[in-house]
Amino acid sequence: MSALMSRNLVVNGRRTSMKLEPSVWNYLGEIAQLRGKTVGGLVSDIESGLPDGADNLSAEVRMFILNYYKKIADGNNLGVRLVELRREHQETVAELMREITELQDQVRHHQKARNDRHSALARDIMDVLIKHSGPTALNE
């Protein structure tokens, strides 16, 4: 275990000193910077959130850091779980994509058949018009 380092801070308006491991000071500094605060400001927030009777601020700071990084890790685990779910359902998704492609092909086939029927109907109508009114009637 690393030797403790003592630092002086202003916490909720009072000067105090706190002993923490160097790595804990580093983590505390990183979190404070991410939140746009001084280390003293962050420790003030931590202390303000404590229940009455909490008497070991150093221990509470360590727990705050642990919980902070645990939340990040849990968030990363959500990403891992998403990848797992994607793998688990990859075959289902592939099957659905194949079915969608088949349906799209059927729609295209029906659209082409409908267009062909409409074209044939238009030709039949033109033939009837030409037959009954003569070729000059269409040019007028």
What are the boundaries of each domain within the chain? 5-79, 90-139
d(CA 12, CA 43): 8
What pLDDT does residue 54 have? 80
Other beta carbons less than 10 A from residue 86's beta carbon: 10
Nearest to 7 by CA among 46, 17, 131: 17
Least confident range from 6-15, 48-57, 91-100, 126-135: namely 126-135
Q: Give kind and range of the element (H or E) at residue 16.
A: strand 14-20
Instruction: Give the pLDDT confidence of 18-60 residue by residue, as tens digits.
Output: 999 999 999 999 999 999 999 999 999 999 998 887 889 999 9
Task: Please give the model's pTM, rounded to 2 decimal places.
Answer: 0.55
d(CA 7, CA 9): 6
Q: Confidence class of residue 80 from pLDDT cuts 50, 70 and 90?
A: low
Task: Please name the fold of domain 5-79.
Answer: Ribbon-helix-helix fold (1.10.3990)
